Structure 1
Amino acid sequence: MHSHYGINRLSRMRVKDLGKLLIEAAKKESEDSLWERWVRLCPYMEIGQMKFISFDDYKKALIKPIVKLSEKTSEEIVEEMMAVATAYESQRSG
């Protein structure tokens, strides 16, 4: 995470905002890792040892769609999690 998210600021964040931040940080870390791997392949693509593949195509090939583990809609899941977050925040401030 970016350095301006110190522990004091993170501890004051609402649960749902912290969750969003963590998801974005994980996505960024994953994309950075894929980028580094792709860059290491570039010399082989440049000399013709490997067929060229764009970074976007490389990323699409390696990132698989999320498998659905629940029969609930995303709206139902969000509604449930918002109730949990609200209960947690009311206990925390209470």
Structure 2
Amino acid sequence: MGIDLLDLIFRLENRFGIKIPRQRTHDLLEQGNTADPPDGAWTDFRVSDLVALVESLVAEQHPDIEQDVFAGVRMEIVACLQVEEQDVTPEAWLVRDLGME
């Protein structure tokens, strides 16, 4: 994963007013599917993993603000990857199912 992930992280930081530390992004990638990734990728992770990361960062950085994190993450994935909204489910894999490069 490369430019798509960077673009998506940037979009999420802007949408939620958070900073996503590089180490947290690295942890997300390391904890993803490294045993059986899709062709051309060394890892893959689910939308739910990304939502959980953003939820934890919003809770840490803006505990007084309630936001529908899944809806916001879904909108940014749709815009970034040019996929259909109904395809962005918690179970969807970012590379395998949604075509992240």
TM-score by length of 2: 0.29
Max radius of gyration: which structure?
1
Relative to total residues, which structure has the larger helix share, 1 or 2? Answer: 1
TM-score by length of 1: 0.30
